[in-house]
Amino acid sequence: MPVCRVEFVVPVYYRVLCDSGSIEYLQLVVAPLLSVIHVYSVCEEMRAAPVNTLNPQRTAMIVADFVKTGKISSPADLRYREDLLFPGRLIEDAGKVKVGRSLHEVVRPSKLQQFKEAFPEEKFLLNHGSRWTDMILEHNATGEDALRGWLVAAYASDMEQLVHEPSANILQEAYDKMNSTFSPFLAELQAKGWHTDRFLDGTGNRFAF
C-alpha cells in the first residue's frame, strides 16, 4: 500500500504525492476552513485586551446599557460583545444612530441653520428619522460630545416607544433629560476606565461652521 504525504499549495489546490510518483490535484477544501479559523483566532486575540477608547460601536453599547439598565459597562464588559466583523450595525436601545455620513446626505442646505440652532451649544447635529437617527459631529468634537448626542437620540427613541406617536418636541425633551443625567453618567464612565477625550470615528465625515 503506497504511503502518501500532503503538501498545501495556497490558495487554490493541495497536492497529494504518492510513492508511485503520480500527482493528483484535489479541489481545495481545507484552505477556507483554515482561513476561518485564522480570522476567528485573530478576533479572539483582539478581544482579549480591553480597549478603553470610544468608537461608534462601543459608544452605542454603553448608551444602550445605560438607558436600558441604568448601569455603565466597563471596557472589560464590552470586549467580548463587540462585533469586529460587522461593527456598523445599528443598536435599537441606543437610538439606532448612524454617525459619520456626509452633511449633504443628512441635511438639506436650507435646513442646516435650523438643525444647528436646535442645540446651539453642542458640537453635533441630529436628524431624527423614522428608521434611524443621523448624527454628524463637528471637526473638533470629543468622545463626550458623541456621548451627549447619542444619549439624546437614545432617549428620544425610548420616549417615542412609550407614547407610540411622534412628537415635534421629542428631541428637546430628550435633550433636557440628557442634561439632567449627563454629569453623573460621565463621572462613572470615566471611573470605569473609559477615555472620553477622543472619539474614533475612522473615516466618518465631520462638519465645521
The grid coordinates listed for 130 are 423614522
Please indicate, yes or no, whether residues 83 and 184 belong to a single structural domain of this protein: yes
Distance CA 172, CA 163 (A): 15
- Sign of the dihedral through C-alpha 8, 10, 11, 15: negative
Dihedral sign, Cα of residue 53, residue 57, residue 63, residue 69: negative
Q: Which residue has the cell 449633504?
A: 104
Both 121 and 143 in one domain: the answer is yes
Q: What Rg value do the Cα atoms of the chain yield, rounded? A: 24
Q: Are residues 32 and 59 in the same domain?
A: no
- Supply the pLDDT for residue 189: 97
For residue 109, what pLDDT is reported?
Answer: 87
User: In the chain, which ranges are continuous DSSP H helix?
Assistant: 30-48, 56-69, 75-78, 103-106, 112-118, 143-163, 170-191
Q: Per-residue pLDDT tens, the chain, 209 aa: give them.
A: 444 444 444 444 444 444 444 444 444 555 666 666 666 566 555 555 678 999 999 999 999 999 999 999 999 999 888 887 788 889 999 999 999 899 989 998 888 888 889 999 999 999 998 899 999 999 999 999 999 999 999 999 999 888 765 566 899 999 999 999 999 999 999 999 999 999 999 877 898 86
Do 92 and 179 reside in the same domain of the chain?
yes
Please tell me the total count of domains within the chain: 2
